[in-house]
Amino acid sequence: MPEQTFLMIKPDGVKRRLVGDILIKLEKKGLKLAAMKMLQITKELAEIHYQEHREKEFYEELIKFITSGPVVAIVLEGKGIVELIRNFAGKTNPKEAECGTIRGDYAVDITQNVVHTSDSIANAKREINNFFEKAEIIRK
């Protein structure tokens, strides 16, 4: 089975109507979308998703932001996809993100940085399972 990763277009990206632009970037790169859906994240799901940040000072702000509006959850497939998408998204801090990356082109600050991407294969599996049922993921 090909490697999979999770990408989420955050509430700021949806609110600013960047979903189409981001999807175009992904498709022009030749990446395979295996699943996609729009949803409103509950506080409970947000706490599960960001569990590794629970003890950090920015945790409550992160939960408040990610539940502030709809998001678009995406599963992408391909060889080396986790690292590829991390690089394609750009550095978490948009001030450090290169032009041409999603965050370099669209993000405004470190919290409202348009997208979330999985940082490892293990986290990608966990995040995909948090947001998608197996039947929602298309495999060819």
Tens digits of per-residue pLDDT, 93-109? 999 999 999 999 999 88
The answer on pLDDT for 5 being more than 80 is yes
Of 108, 118, 39, 48, the residue nearest 71 (C-alpha): 39
What pLDDT, on a 0 to 100 scale, did the predictor assign at position 110?
Answer: 85
Tokens representing 1 are 């089975």
CA angle 131, 53, 69 (to 5 degrees): 50
What CATH number does the domain containing 14 carry? 3.30.70.141
What pLDDT, on a 0 to 100 scale, did the predictor assign at position 43?
Answer: 97
CA 66 to CA 35: how far, in whole Å? 20
Torsion of CA 108, 26, 129, 68, to 10 degrees: 30
- Whether 53 is a known active-site residue: answer no
* Structural domains counted in the chain: 1
E-strand spans in 10-122? 32-40, 70-77, 115-117
Phi, psi (rounded to 5 degrees) for 110? -65, -30
The answer on pLDDT for 139 being more than 90 is no
**Among the options 22, 116, 117, 118, which is catalytic?**
116
pTM of this prediction?
0.94
The answer on pLDDT for 140 being more than 80 is no
Structural domain range at position 126? 4-136
What pLDDT, on a 0 to 100 scale, did the predictor assign at position 93?
Answer: 93
